[in-house]
Amino acid sequence: MKLKVPENRKIAPFLVFYIITSSQIGLGVLGFQRIIAKDAGTDSWISIIIGGILLQILMICIYKMLNIVKGDWYDVHAFIFGEKISKIFSLLLAIYACFKMITVLRGYIEIVQVWMFHTFNTFKFGLAFLLLSVYIVYGGFRTIVGINVFSMIILFLVMPLFLYTVPYANPSFLKPVFSHSLGEIFKAVIGISYSYMGYEIILFIYPFLKEPAKSKKWAHFALLFTTLFYLYIAILTFMFFPVESIDQLIWASLNMWKIIEMPFVERFEYIGIATWFVIMLPKVCLYLWISGRMLKRSFDVRLRTSIPIIASLCLIVLPFMENRTQIHSAIDFVSQIDLYLTGIYIPILFICVLIVWKVKKHGKTSN
């Protein structure tokens, strides 16, 4: 049964831009340079562009699929496999959203612990973060969208700060251009995939859009903005650090902020990390909401019941990831799921929807 959303709970099409960009821009911005430079060096900017083009193609497929089904990811599965099997897939998506939320939150806590407070308690900070997230989710989907918009305003204010590196930049660090093979460049595309993830959020929020067809251009604008943003950060990074040293920098973007000097603060990266809290918050809220929404669609569990339970389970898991190796393994595991989910599963779903749609259409025509 398709979800019917009241008009007063729907959002304007242009807000899709803020939802997708805030979903894609998070922890990845702080350390993606090392991951992509490992394979393609300074040619990684080519990988960023290729990845952006592939995302645009996938978004076309997603909108075509959603326009046929007229629903969310649950309805897509129901359209192909039926309601019963769709419930199983939706449960898996709820678990996936939980994993995403855990890695996002634990990754941010690690940054706070390494850069600011070494004895910071993971459980206590996670509790405070999740309590705030639950409070926001209780406000409804429109409240979550409002937090997304606010986080993007903060991002627009933070973006120019990376230009502080320009006086110290060395464009010759970008040479030689096209010195890596296509295989290495495409490995870097896979490397940037975790940072690019978040655009698939449209598969969950589609029923909450007023005039969904008009949101398509805003979704593509969002992907373009994200691609240009990562390209902007990458080029500034590769001109500031020699490519050999980037491999030693886990969070290269934070290292770039260390050169910023202001009269009222000596360590600006502290301000940057604290500000990044606002940018991370909507991602956690969205994944918490998605997990609850999928459980509601599958088992008719009220969000006010499922959300605290989901948040509690995530809070219990957080302290078990104690060191960098465990955190990296968890993030790598989720990024592999992201890659298979968006790079393989969504295209397969798209083909299946087209086939089923044509079969049903042909059947109606015959009748």
Strands (E), 109-239: none
Tell me: pLDDT of 367 over 70. Answer: no
Q: How much is the average pLDDT of 26-31?
A: 87
Peptide linkage before 176 cis (omega within 30 of 0): yes
What letter does residue 210 receive in the DSSP assignment?
A: S
Q: What is the pLDDT of residues 101-112, one digit of tens each?
A: 999 999 999 999
Residue 366 in this model has a pLDDT that exceeds 60: no
Domain at 10-357: CATH code: 1.20.1740.10
pLDDT at 14 over 90: yes
| Predicted local confidence at residue 229, as pLDDT | 95
In this prediction, residues 88-113 reach a mean pLDDT of 92
pLDDT score at 64: 94
Residue type, 38: K
**Cα radius of gyration rounded to whole Å, the chain:** 21
Secondary structure class of 121 (helix, strand, coil):
coil
Whole-number average pLDDT of the chain: 89
Domain range list for the chain:
10-357
Supply the pLDDT for residue 264. 65
pLDDT-wise least confident of 58-72, 90-104, 219-233, 252-266: 252-266
- Residues 15-26 have pLDDT tens digits of 999 999 999 998
Choice between 244 and 281, residue whose per-residue pLDDT is larger: 281
Per-residue CA distances from 116 to 102, 135, 268, 273, 321 (Å): 21, 26, 11, 9, 19
User: How many alpha carbons fall within 13 Å on the CB side of residue 292?
Assistant: 25
pLDDT at 62: 94
Handedness of CA 35, 38, 41, 47 (dihedral sign): negative
* pLDDT grade for 278, boundaries at 50, 70 and 90: very high
| 265: confidence class by pLDDT, cuts 50, 70, 90 | low
224 versus 342: the higher-pLDDT residue is 224
> Is 90 exceeded by the pLDDT of residue 52?
yes
Quick one: pLDDT band at residue 365, thresholds 50, 70, 90?
low
- List the one residue out of 20, 53, 22 whose CA is nearest residue 231: 53
N residues, the chain? 367
Q: Is the pLDDT of residue 364 over 70?
A: no
Residue 262 pLDDT exceeds 90: no
Highest mean pLDDT range out of 214-218, 239-243, 256-260, 334-338?
Answer: 214-218
Q: How many CB atoms lie within 10 A of CB 12?
A: 13
pTM: 0.92
**CA–CA separation, 222 vs 21, rounded Å?**
6
Tokens standing for 188? 């870097």
Share of the chain above pLDDT 90, in %: 48
Identify the pLDDT of residue 15.
Answer: 94
Neighbours of 58 (CB within 10 A): 18
pLDDT tens digits for 284-306?
A: 999 999 999 999 988 888 889 99
